[in-house]
Structure 1
């Protein structure tokens, strides 16, 4: 006789809190934002959570605390990779990328004081707080990474151009860029899972030296072409009208 299949493990909210170390208010927020599936409800006041909830809550916290990803990016990543499992080799490649690019933590060699950078570039503390909330920068312990400083420098240049506060442009408008980056990144992860499952060591190195810089450059070039194409249509239209 075949053995009976093991019953699915189910948890009440208090047990889910214990398993994950995350409080119920945060878990309910994750569900509301679409990061977690709804629990199984057997009555109006009884909800059951699965092992999948445990895994996802732990993953979300890890991506927030170790990789400093905003919830918007985590949601895109979870939904686009939910049906995939990374191979051991792919995990090794991710570890290599993390080692070479750094974890995102500001270190003494590459960091800059937040307050000094803020004052030098002309940001208010409220603006810095908003940029942190949006996930544009990731200030740690009063310090900024070199990457964060470059992002702030570029945004400051744009603010001094026509994208000024006087025209109503705020940090919230960077959401356009963040959404594009989140979408591109989620598709990159899907592509990696589907196409690059058995990279050799030399090929993994090329991800860092060729692929990442190349994709960044392609994105910039294609964006420029879109702008040129859009603008040229107006030029042709006005010329035709004049004739």
Structure 2
């Protein structure tokens, strides 16, 4: 959409929108020429988020910038600000991270393109089309690289290991993430300001990831032992049954 359509969609005039752009609170538009700017849903979302923070939480643009940057502000804000700040942080991070060319991964992981396609088909990552070719977000590139390291460790086609077995993780990670988000908001929302809440999240996520990883490792080996024991018991019973029939 053009600037006029963006004004109509947000109810904000172009002069104010340009201020938001200069302050870095709204992502820069796509440009097909020196004077032709294209805006999308992400711009509408960001502008609406800024306006709500201004009106409902009485935040200045400087205070919003401080919160988005993670440097905090002395002003306490209502819990209603969380969603809008999350929107702005997401758009800020997306604009700060340039897409990773898929070709750059292929140099290190020969099957990166094939793996990226499979991971995209099952909904774990999204392949971005750019003027320079296919690319990935930083997180998606890291996921493809991790699978490449899995291949290098020996989990390859000879063992029938391929990324399509990872579909389970979509549901599992969504379940865990939903529970963690619900629990976090139940205990923190309304009790801590946004700055303190952001600090808690930053500290807790890597700790809980490690905690969950250790529990998974323990469960993995417990189930491996249980499966092997069940098979050995089954084989033993089969042999006993055969011996009994031969007598």
TM norm structure 2:
0.49
Task: Work out the CA distance in 1 between the residues paired with 2:185 and 2:105.
Answer: 38
Cα gap change, 1:139 to 1:106, in 2 (>3 Å): farther
Asked if 1 retains the 8 angstrom alpha-carbon contact of 2:105 and 2:145, the reply is no
Task: Work out the CA distance in 2 between the residues paired with 1:137 and 1:104.
Answer: 17
Asked if 2 retains the 8 angstrom alpha-carbon contact of 1:118 and 1:128, the reply is no
Task: Work out the CA distance in 2 between the residues paired with 1:159 and 1:176.
Answer: 19
Which residue is equivalent to 1:136?
Answer: 124
2:194 to 188, 192, 201: 201
Look at both structures and tell me which one has the larger radius of gyration over its CA atoms: 2
In the TM superposition, what is the alpha-carbon distance from 1:204 to its structure 2 partner?
A: 1.2
Alignment length, in residue pairs?
154
Which residue is equivalent to 1:105?
Answer: 94
- 1:116-195 matches, within 5 Å, as 116-123=104-111, 125-140=113-128, 141=130, 142-195=134-187
The alignment status of 1:227 with 2:220, answered yes or no, reads yes
| Structure 2 gaps, min length 5 | 1-40, 46-76, 237-247
| Structure 1 gaps, min length 5 | 1-61, 67-87
Would you tell me which structure has more helix in proportion to its own residues?
A: 2
Task: Work out the CA distance in 2 between the residues paired with 1:146 and 1:180.
Answer: 22
- 1:4-43 matches, within 5 Å, as none
In the TM superposition, what is the alpha-carbon distance from 1:94 to its structure 2 partner?
A: 4.2
Helix, strand or coil: the match of 1:105?
A: helix
| Deviations 1:168-220 (CA, angstroms, capped at 9, x unpaired) | 22221011222211111121233234333213234212233212222211111
Task: Work out the CA distance in 2 between the residues paired with 1:178 and 1:167.
Answer: 22
Greater relative CO, 1 or 2 (CA 8 Å, sep 6+): 1
